[in-house]
Amino acid sequence: MSKKKLKIARRRSKIHGNGVFATAPIRKGEHIVEYLGQFLTHAEADEKYKEGTDSGHTFLFTLNEHWIVNANVRGNVARWINTGCEPNAEAFIHSEDKKKPDPKKDRVLIEAKRSIKPGEEIIYDYGFNFDVKYTPKLLRTWACKCGSPKCTGTMLKGKKVKEVMKAHPNWQKGK
């Protein structure tokens, strides 16, 4: 990646705390920013962040089956990008060498899914999927606050989410 000036900045967000906003037009498909931080093994991340799925907040990004990117240490502005149900950006895992893969050389890149105007908040869908029992409380802990008419109400994704929502239609109300 070239060392060109980023077209984004951290600001207060209506979605949640801090957010990342375009400071110049961003074209569809354009690289926005790389998600940076300390590399941890999954076991190291589990040990260091024992609260795991109980907090509803994380700066950990699963890179691959070997590594997690911990933006709490040496992270950059990308850690402030919020989630939403109508994202204008997408996170990709980029591998440099397909013939001789090295998991520690993989990178998380955030790219524009569509054109983004200056002042618009950058949003991608976190799409969390945890290896724990899903409950209404867990869905509420990981609540999505994007405000979109299409909002699912949770950052969690997958079949387990749909099962909890079907079994507990009032899950958002704490019932």
What DSSP designation does 4 have?
P
Confidence band, pLDDT 50/70/90 cuts, at residue 88? very high
Q: Which helix (H) or strand (E) holds 172?
A: none
Report d(CA 121, CA 27) in Å as an integer.
14
Provide the pLDDT confidence category of residue 104 given band limits of 50, 70 and 90: confident
Delineate the domains of the chain, giving CATH numbers in brackets. 1-126 (2.170.270.10), 128-175 (no CATH)
Q: Considering the entire predicted model, what is its pTM?
A: 0.87
Tokens 């290896």 sit on residue = 131
Name the band, by pLDDT with cuts 50, 70 and 90, for residue 97.
Answer: low
Average pLDDT in the chain: 89
H helix intervals, the chain: 42-48, 136-141, 159-167
Mean pLDDT of 113-118: 98
Residue 102 pLDDT more than 80?
A: no
pLDDT digits (tens, 9 = 90+) for 29-84: 999 999 999 999 989 988 888 766 666 778 989 888 889 999 999 999 999 999 99
| pLDDT of 98 | 65
Residue 129's pLDDT is: 83
For the chain, the C-alpha Rg in angstroms (whole number) is 17
